Amino acid sequence: MANTDFIAAIYLGTSRITGIVGRNEAGTLVVVAYETEISANCIVRGCVHNVKETAARVKKIIRNLELKIPGSRIGKVYVGVGGQSIRSVEHTVSISLKAESIVTDELMDSLHKECETYLPDGLEVLSVLPSAYYLDGRMEPEPVGISCSRIEAKYNLIVARPSLRRLIVKSITEMAQIEIADIRVAPLVLADVVLSESEKSRGCALIDFGAGVTSLSVYKDGKLVRLCVIPLGGNLITRDIGEYLKIEESEAEPLKRKYGNALVSEADDSFQINQEQKGLISVQLADFNHVVTARLQEILENVYDKLEGAVEWKALRAGIIITGKAANLENLTAAIYNRTGIDVRYASIRGGLNVKNGLSDTFPDGVTLGLLLHGKVNCAVIHTPAPPPVRPQPPTPPPTPVVESPEQKPPTRSGKKQKPFDRFIKKASGFVGEFFDEGE
């Protein structure tokens, strides 16, 4: 039986494109299918670089997902993006009201829509997040229903270059022929999967160490304080290792995962690799990790700079949460703690959110789960049954035309021709009958 009610989503990552099909059943995310494709050369730092290649890989993912949901077709998808131009900017909207006017839902909606059409320095608004409301100068967390004469609403707008959306639409909608249900900001949907409301309220920072970019989301008092995407990621560490050892990046990546350490040890340890020009060579582990940490420190210092500009360290009472493929370096949590003095932990699915994973070989990444969590529109193609065929009716023959004939005398009752004498007798009888009739 065909599955006709599900959410489908695509995440455009720098190292891979992922696709998911599932449902949100009363707080439980049910994963039905999951697919990945390498995105090298078509997604660069979270942005579509090669439109044609991106479309081809998205189509392949859709096709493979549909094979796992027999009898069903995907008609639209949610798309998650985390490109390097994404960041948050503060924006304030204010309005004066009549004395003692009541703030309504309609008024709040109008303020929200005004922010959606705002164009800060040629950027495009991807999402609007309320930050604080002030009614006659007093801060009110829930203004609806309160009377005031002036309301000032402060928002965090998530913005990006217009090309980010345009190239997504070009590759997915126009070339891959898949309708886009909505475009969602990856760091935001990820935060809703791994951060509890308590952690957001107490204050925390979520760092996603990706292949091409590193994203930072800072929360305080339950609100997003800052979001930024730093155009530095784990691929740079891999590239540096490749150049140092004179090997391909595809060979350097597994070495980074196996031997990479965020803290350099001066112990005289080593490992061996097969170098194309020299054959089997020995690599000092300390030298190897000096290369790793040099680039890692550049990434981390950029993160610390953005973090310090958003909140004070002491405001992060729930600590720092890290995730991402490039976060798998040994002792990374210790390196961050040594610099900040703040508790650091790896991200996990937050309490209260259940994931029912029907896959035996893999577990979906946090962003695709976040897209599944936020999806509201049914993404399945609904086939409307065709009406029964109408059997053709034979044509109605045209009416036979009435042809008027020359005037004829009415025939006699017997149908025989009357003689002159008979006509005289009938006429006379008629006259006498009429005479007596008139006399009554």
Euclidean distance between CA atoms 215 and 206, whole angstroms? 8
Segment 342-362 shows an average pLDDT of 90
Burial class (CB in 10 A: 0-12, 13-18, 19+), 121: exposed
Location of each CATH 3.30.420.40 domain in the chain: 1-85+163-195+350-383, 197-347
Tell which residue, 45, 15, 54, has the closest CA to residue 249. Answer: 15
> What is the model's pLDDT at position 228?
95
Q: So what's the architecture of 87-160 in CATH?
A: 2-Layer Sandwich (3.30)
> What is the model's pLDDT at position 432?
38
Residue 178 has pLDDT above 80, yes or no: yes
Residue 181 has pLDDT above 50, yes or no: yes
Q: Are 89 and 156 in contact (CB under 8 A)?
A: yes
> What is the model's pLDDT at position 399?
66
Other beta carbons less than 10 A from residue 175's beta carbon: 16
> What is the model's pLDDT at position 433?
42
> What is the model's pLDDT at position 275?
81
- Give this prediction's pTM: 0.83
Residue 355 has pLDDT above 90, yes or no: yes
Q: Using one digit for the tens of pLDDT, what is the confidence trace for 256-284?
A: 999 999 999 888 899 998 887 778 889 99
| φ/ψ (deg, to 5) at 378 | -65, 125
Segment 182-204 shows an average pLDDT of 96
Segment 327-354 shows an average pLDDT of 95
Query: Are β-strands 43-44 and 47-48 bridged in parallel, bridged antiparallel, or unpaired?
Result: antiparallel
Q: Are 198 and 221 in contact (CB under 8 A)?
A: no
> What is the model's pLDDT at position 396?
66
Q: Using one digit for the tens of pLDDT, what is the confidence trace for 81-139?
A: 998 889 999 999 999 988 778 999 999 999 999 998 888 888 999 999 988 999 999 99
Segment 304-325 shows an average pLDDT of 94
Sheet holding 204-209, edge to edge: 138-139, 124-135, 147-160, 87-102, 223-230, 214-220, 204-209, 320-323, 344-346
Q: Which of the residue ranges 24-33, 131-140, 307-316, 422-431 would you say has the lowest mean pLDDT?
A: 422-431
> What is the model's pLDDT at position 302?
96
Q: Are 254 and 261 in contact (CB under 8 A)?
A: no
DSSP H helix total and E strand total for the chain: 11, 19
Q: Average per-residue pLDDT in the chain?
A: 88
> What is the model's pLDDT at position 277?
77
* Nearby residues of 311 by Cβ (< 8 Å), 6 or more positions away: 203, 218, 220, 225, 226
For the 1-85+163-195+350-383 domain, the top CATH level (class) is alpha beta
Q: Which of the residue ranges 137-146, 208-217, 287-296, 378-387 would you say has the lowest mean pLDDT?
A: 378-387
| Residue entry with tokens 């131009």 | 85
Location of each CATH 3.30.1490.110 domain in the chain: 87-160
Euclidean distance between CA atoms 256 and 223, whole angstroms? 36
| φ/ψ (deg, to 5) at 294 | -60, -45
> What is the model's pLDDT at position 428?
43
> What is the model's pLDDT at position 383?
63
> Using 50, 70 and 90 to split pLDDT, how confident is the model at 438?
very low
Euclidean distance between CA atoms 280 and 193, whole angstroms? 45
> What is the model's pLDDT at position 1?
38
Tokens of 362: 């893999």
Percentage of residues in the chain having pLDDT higher than 90:
72
> Using 50, 70 and 90 to split pLDDT, how confident is the model at 430?
very low
Residue 439 has pLDDT above 50, yes or no: no
Residue 440 has pLDDT above 70, yes or no: no
> What is the model's pLDDT at position 288?
95
> Using 50, 70 and 90 to split pLDDT, how confident is the model at 367?
very high
Segment 316-342 shows an average pLDDT of 95
Tell which residue, 116, 111, 72, 69, has the closest CA to residue 93. Answer: 111
Q: Using one digit for the tens of pLDDT, what is the confidence trace for 287-312?
A: 999 999 999 999 999 999 999 989 99
**Total residue length of the chain:** 440
Other beta carbons less than 10 A from residue 203's beta carbon: 21
E strands present in 262-342: 270-275, 279-284, 320-323
* Nearby residues of 22 by Cβ (< 8 Å), 6 or more positions away: 6, 7, 29, 30, 31, 32, 33, 372
Is the domain spanning 197-347 CATH 3.40.50.300? The answer is no
Q: Which of the residue ranges 5-14, 183-192, 256-265, 275-284 would you say has the lowest mean pLDDT?
A: 275-284
Segment 54-58 shows an average pLDDT of 96
Residue 402 has pLDDT above 70, yes or no: no
